[in-house]
Amino acid sequence: MNKADQQELFHKNEKLINMVIERAKRDYPEEIALIGLTGSFRTGDFHDKSDLDLIIINNNHQGWGISSCFILGDVGYDIYCTPWETRIEEQAALESPMTSSLIDLQVLYCAKPEYMEKFNAYRQRALDTLAKPIGSECIGRAKKWIDSAKQEYANAMLAEDLGTVRLASCEVVYNLVCALTNLNNTYFKRGLKRYLEEIAAYRYIPEDFERIYMDVIHAKTMDDIRSTTYTLLRSIHNLYKTLYQKYVVPPVPAYDNLAGTYEELWCNYRHKVIASAEMKDQSYAFYTAMGAQQFLDEMTESRGTRRFDLMQHFDADQLDGFKEQFLQAMDEYLEEYNLTGRSVERYDTFEELYRQYMKV
């Protein structure tokens, strides 16, 4: 693009910006808090058909009245709102791939000083989080994206036509690059077309990532799409597990954090496991086994207890065997209590319970 065309483009953008600000001042003085510039014209990575990306933060639903979608010449524009409580909050929490719209926003208009203070507080939250070292917080955010990718992978496996399989695969890839960004505790600073370039500079990426990534895009058949998508998903999941082990400090079982957990295990699962085995109710036993395993896994993650693999012992035709394995796991879990000096809260009579429970 030559300099004259560039200046003409800048002039058109200036008129559009002034138009939106004029409308905000005239019709939405209380509803629109702030207007800013993001996207390709903010980063300088634009072309002659690039649209104008404005972030318009609205205070309430009435502010959406400023929204408009139109074509000027042959360029399309979408004037939309970004509410504080949803999109800005998500960006401040680094739960959105659009965090650059908060951190790098060029503010063009602000209705009141307090709105600028509010905006800067959101921005600072994001910056403070990004300044932290890689750890449980960013790895936890990454897991949410990986879980979403797994769901889309299931959609790719279940779909029966090429287009639907490919769309689900695209969703997998998108969720995984967002996961990878969070694993590195950073954010996308430029647009979609620069994602691969930005990722290449990350500290942690799977080995041979670009080839694996492009294999998904090049895949032609449904089987190829599913296969390459699985390879990419597996590579990011393995990286997640590696970084989790490296950076997440596991909790340690302690007197306080184990309080009530053995009793909860007894309350929710002990008699269900015993009853389902005695009744030979395979469906009941199956769901009870699931619940018990989920509870024990949660205790491992949140309290640091040893891991119990109950489900490997589940056999619908041998429910008594599973019952014995579960009861053994309960005994071993009780040892966790003993190691911390905690006793089970058990009462032989209601009167004993009443006296203890009603203590001030």
Q: What is the pLDDT of residues 265-295, one digit of tens each?
A: 999 999 999 999 999 999 999 999 999 999 9
Tell whether the model's pLDDT for residue 44 goes beyond 70: no
Average pLDDT over residues 290-316: 97
pLDDT, averaged across the chain: 94
Report the DSSP beta bridge partners of residue 38.
53
* Structure tokens given for 63: 């502010």
pLDDT of residue 3: 82
Torsion-angle region of 186 (φ positive above 0: left; ψ -120 to 50: alpha; else: beta): beta
pTM above 0.85, yes or no: yes
In which band, very low, low, confident or very high, does the pLDDT at 1 lie, cut at 50, 70 and 90? Answer: low
Tell whether the model's pLDDT for residue 42 goes beyond 80: no
In which band, very low, low, confident or very high, does the pLDDT at 253 lie, cut at 50, 70 and 90? Answer: very high
- Spatial CA neighbour of 290 closest among 247, 326, 238, 266: 326
Average pLDDT over residues 186-195: 87
In order of start, what are the domains of the chain with their CATH numbers? 3-130 (3.30.460.10), 136-247 (1.20.120), 261-357 (no CATH)
Dihedral sign for Cα 267, 270, 275, 280, please.
positive
pLDDT of residue 14: 87
Query: What percentage of the chain reaches a pLDDT higher than 70?
Result: 99
DSSP 159-206: --SHHHHHHHHHHHHHHHHHHHHHHTT----S-GGGHHHHHHT-S---
Tell whether the model's pLDDT for residue 52 goes beyond 60: yes
Question: What does the pLDDT look like over 132-148, one tens digit per residue?
Answer: 999 999 999 999 999 99
Q: What are phi and psi of 69, to 5 degrees?
A: -130, 125
CA–CA distances in Å: residue 303 to residues 152, 252, 256, 310: 31, 6, 10, 18
Contact between 21 and 38 (Cβ < 8 Å): no
Distance of CA 356 to the CA centre of its chain: 43
CA–CA distances in Å: residue 302 to residues 35, 270, 272: 42, 21, 24
DSSP 64-126: GGG-EEEEETTEEEEE-B--IIIIIHHHHTT-STTTHHHHT-EEEEESSHHHHHHHHHHHHHH
Tell whether the model's pLDDT for residue 360 goes beyond 60: no
- Spatial CA neighbour of 48 closest among 19, 20, 75: 75
Q: For the packed helices 222-247 and 136-158, what is the interaxial angle rounded to 10 degrees?
A: 160
* Structure tokens given for 176: 């995984």
**Amino acid identity, residue 113?**
P
Tell whether the model's pLDDT for residue 225 goes beyond 70: yes
Whole-angstrom distance, CA of residue 113 vs CA of residue 329:
60
Neighbours of 220 (CB within 10 A): 9
**Amino acid identity, residue 249?**
V
* Structure tokens given for 232: 């990419």
Whole-angstrom distance, CA of residue 187 vs CA of residue 22:
32
| Pairing of β 32-38 and β 53-58 | antiparallel
Whole-angstrom distance, CA of residue 179 vs CA of residue 310:
30
pLDDT of residue 305: 97
Neighbours of 227 (CB within 10 A): 13
Tell whether the model's pLDDT for residue 56 goes beyond 80: yes
- The single residue listed with the structure tokens 């693999």 is 309
- CA end-to-end span of the chain: 77
pLDDT of residue 40: 73
pLDDT of residue 317: 97
